[in-house]
Amino acid sequence: MTKKKGPKIDLKNIKMKTPMKWPKKPNNKFSPFFVLFWVAILLAAMLPYIQTGVQVENTDVALSQLQENYLEWEYSEILINGNKAIATLSGSQVDENGITKQQTQTAILPDRDSLSDLWLKAEWISTTVEVKDLTSERFWQNMIPTILLVVLFLIIGMFLISRMWGMANNAMTFGKSRAKLFDQSKDKILFKDVAGAEEEKEELQETVDFLKNPKKYRDLGAKIPRGTLLVGPPGTGKTMLARAVAGESNVPFLSISGSEFVEMFVWVGASRVRDLFTNAKKIAPAIIFIDEIDAIGKKRGPGTGGWHDEREQTLNQILTEMDGFDNDTNVIVIGATNRSDVLDKALLRPGRFDRKITVNLPNQSDREKILEVHAKNKKVEKDIDFKALASSTVWFSGADLGNVLNEAAIITARYSEKAISKMRLQQAFERIVMGLSKKSLVMNDQERKITSYHEVGHALLGKLCLHSDPVHKISITPRGGALWVTWFMPERDAVLTSKAKFLDELCVLYGGRASEEIFFGADMITTGASNDIERATKIARNMVMRYGMYEDIWRENFAGERWMWNYTGVEWDMPVVSQETQKAIDLKVQQILKEQYDRAIKLIKENKDLHIKISEDLLEKEEIDREEFDAYFA
């Protein structure tokens, strides 16, 4: 019996009824510049018809008075309009508000044959006498500004209507999915392209096999795995793993962030979820990848947003869509989050996200492979030891390792070098971990000397304590947020921490303060040990209250925190500790810290000469690396 292969998917010919693209902006010819242009034109046309601060005062007089004033040259002009003579008095006055006042006199004219009958046309009079029909002139003078204003409001109104129409068109697209569809013919990623994460790949292999051969599982009565949840710190490659599943299965990959479901409109999120799942079913088998799913999948409960806010409606729609899958629906939902503890239980129950895969930070072997992958597209010198760099980058994620090589390439380009060298890689590593060196911050000679002895105190005790991590570098050059630093670098990934290591760490932390007291006196101790004391206190309290490492306090957790929901939000409920127990805890913490401080004093005094030699060399060099430091003990 031959095995029937699934249909081959041609992504280039996939057609969706609802294309997954951003909505185009409306082609709006009434742009702001268009409206401003016509507003300026109309205002310029209205200027001749706008009265510019002139106030006219009119007085009715007898015709004889008007004739007498005319002959005495008191008028600048006379306008004859029908049976009225309107005379403007010469001169004008400007009041304190800047308004020009003009006075006119109006007289009623009798029937006449000509102006000479009224004695208003004497050639030796300079007054202008003119016959005009002011009725029609004033009509248009009043109407033109009104007409222009109407046209102006029509243009602005058409602009606003067109904008509202464009917003309405955009609103119709708010409910459409914004998922990005990756074309596997161009953007294909396989498991071999993802360095490390071998256990995670093995768990995801079943999902790949199901998408390739679903009939094999259905014949056995196995239900389709609806969803897979990838949980892990940022930068561990959760998105790359999801894309690799799609690449290995050769199925379409639809990617969207959880934050893109939620908008200010209450119906948008649920509508986008429906559209996303509808499109995925049309091109099934397919994978839906929801990054940062905690943006919409947080635990539901009473709070300021109530029970029916937009996020809850979106979550409810996702749950409904995943419940709607049947055995013939070859759609897998892969979610990614950094915080699975905040997700709603309904989202994690069987039938929705059936699988939970933890993507941990890479171990040393995986870090070496990741560094080699990131170095493929960069010019790197052949003598670089990626294994040594991998051992130094404990707790680095894949994204952090990529950033180290990228920073090394930037530094190399700054100095116009042709390939990334070991020195540039080390500079990039230190820049990311410790920050840039601050050469502008200058200490005086006394401060530099105290700082040098302080840091060598940490380093010397780190070398003498058997359970301490090796010293990577000592520096009295200010870097980033630290004024100076003694950098300890673990040689391997540690899973558990012993009581002996904690005690050695306390001794090393007190090495700086102990050195100041021994070499400069108790009156010259500085504030440089403030962070050391804070960290030491926290470690000692955790040993007593959290880890149960001392029998006289008994093995009970006194530092645990419990949280619960209430109607005003989340409240932290600290466990109740009696006064007697709290006093015993405080005394035990003080005893531990005093013992390790006395131990630091004793070890430094026993190696006083070596301490002075290293400190003086550090004053001269400002930085001592691991090889130089180990040479003092050879």
What distance in Å separates the CA atoms of residue 529 and residue 526, rounded to the nearest whole number? 7
- For residue 574, the model assigns a pLDDT of 52
Helix axes of 511-520 and 499-509: crossing angle, nearest 10 degrees: 40
Given a contact cutoff of 8 angstroms between Cβ atoms, the answer to whether 49 and 144 are in contact is yes
Distance, CA of 336 to chain centre = 18
Instruction: Report the pLDDT value the prediction gives residue 610, as an integer from 0 to 100.
Output: 95
Q: How many residues does the chain have?
A: 634
Greater confidence (113 vs 613) lies with 613
Between 134 and 551, name the one with better pLDDT: 551
Looking at per-residue pLDDT, the higher value among 70 and 387 belongs to: 387
pLDDT value at position 305? 46
pLDDT digits (tens, 9 = 90+) for 615-629: 999 999 988 988 999
Residue 182 has pLDDT above 60, yes or no: yes
DSSP state letter for 16? -
- Dihedral angle computed from the Cα positions of residues 237, 243, 247 and 249, in that order, rounded to the nearest 10 degrees: 110
SS (HEC) of 571-610: EEECCCCCHHHHHHHHHHHHHHHHHHHHHHHHHHHHCHHH
Q: Residue 603: what pLDDT?
A: 96
What pLDDT does residue 138 have? 57
Which pLDDT tens digit goes with each residue over 265-318?
Answer: 556 778 888 888 888 888 888 888 998 888 888 887 655 444 446 778 888 888
Q: How far apart are CA 534 and CA 347, in angstroms?
A: 41
More confident residue, 582 or 128: 582
Q: Do 425 and 371 touch, CB atoms closer than 8 A? A: no
Cα-Cα end-to-end distance for the chain: 73
Which three-class secondary structure state does DSSP give residue 407? helix
pLDDT of residue 147: 76
Task: Specify the pLDDT at position 543.
Answer: 92
CA-to-CA distance for 515 and 457, rounded, in angstroms?
6
Per residue in 237-268, pLDDT tens?
898 898 898 888 888 888 888 888 776 555 67
pLDDT band at residue 516 using 50, 70 and 90 as cut-offs: very high
* Contact between 191 and 248 (Cβ < 8 Å): yes
> In whole numbers, what is the pLDDT of the chain averaged over residues?
78
What pLDDT score was predicted for residue 520? 94
CA angle 540, 546, 551 (to 5 degrees): 80
Report the C-alpha gap between 576 and 14 in whole angstroms.
62
- Which string of DSSP letters, residue by residue, matches 172-194? HHHTS--PEEE-TTTS---GGGS
Is there a contact between 87 and 102 (Cβ–Cβ < 8 Å)? no
**What's the pLDDT at 200?**
87
Highest mean pLDDT among 253-257, 329-333, 502-506: 502-506
Contact 312, 262 (CB under 8 A): no
* The predicted structure's pLDDT at residue 166: 54
Instruction: Give pLDDT, residue 562.
Output: 47
User: In this structure, what token pair is assigned to residue 171?
Assistant: 């609103």
Burial class of residue 349, CB neighbours in 10 A (0-12, 13-18, 19+): exposed
CA distance 300 to 308: 10
Q: Which H helix or E strand runs over 392?
A: helix 386-392
> How far is residue 229's CA from residue 443's CA, in Å, rounded to a whole number?
52
Q: Which pair of tokens denotes residue 347? A: 């989202």
Per-residue model confidence (pLDDT) at position 606: 95
User: Confidence band (pLDDT; 50, 70, 90) for 26?
Assistant: very low
pLDDT at 177 over 70: no
Percent of the chain with pLDDT over 70: 74
**More confidently predicted of 612 and 174:** 612
Task: Assign 476 a pLDDT band (cuts: 50, 70, 90).
Answer: confident
Given a cut of 90, whether residue 174 has pLDDT beyond it is no
- Let me know: does 36 contact 315? Beta carbons within 8 Å: no
* Dist. CA 596–CA 513, nearest whole Å: 12
Least confident of 300-304, 397-401, 515-519, 543-547: 300-304
Torsion angles phi and psi, residue 623, rounded to 5: -145, 140
Banded pLDDT at 74 (limits 50, 70, 90): confident
* Active-site residue list: 455
Q: Specify the pLDDT at position 165.
A: 58
Amino acid 590: pLDDT: 95
- DSSP state letters, 59-101: EE--HHHHHHHHHTT-EEEEEEETTEEEEEES--EE-TTS-EE
Residues with Cβ < 8 Å from 583, sequence gap 6 or more? none
- Run of H or E residues at 1: none
Most confident of 2-6, 71-75, 264-268: 71-75
Q: Residue 389 above 90 pLDDT? A: no
SS (H, E, C) 606-633: HCHHHHHHHHHHHHHHCEEEHHHHHHCC
Backbone angles phi, psi at 374, to 5 degrees: -70, -20
pTM of the predicted structure, to 2 decimals? 0.63
Name the amino acid, one letter, at 458.
H
Amino acid identity at 626: R
Domains of the chain (ranges, CATH numbers): 61-132 (3.30.720.210), 180-358 (3.40.50.300), 364-433 (1.10.8.60), 445-631 (1.20.58.760)
In 3D space, the residue among 627, 593, 633, 595 whose CA is nearest the CA of residue 611 turns out to be 633
Does residue 540 have a pLDDT over 90?
yes
- Higher-scoring residue by pLDDT: 36, 397: 397
Percent above pLDDT 90 for the chain: 22
Residue 162: predicted pLDDT: 67
Q: Which residues of 151-183 are buried (b: 16+ CB within 10 A; e: fewer)?
A: ebeebeeebeebeeeeeeeeeeebbbbbbebbe
Name the CA dihedral angle for 270, 275, 277, 279, rounded to a multiple of 10 degrees.
-170
**Whether pLDDT at 528 is above 50:** yes
Q: Which residue has the higher pLDDT, 221 or 224?
A: 221
356-382: average pLDDT? 88
Contact 548, 557 (CB under 8 A): yes
Instruction: Report d(CA 183, CA 250) in Å as an integer.
Output: 10
| 506 has pLDDT over 70 | yes
CA angle 198, 203, 204 (to 5 degrees): 95
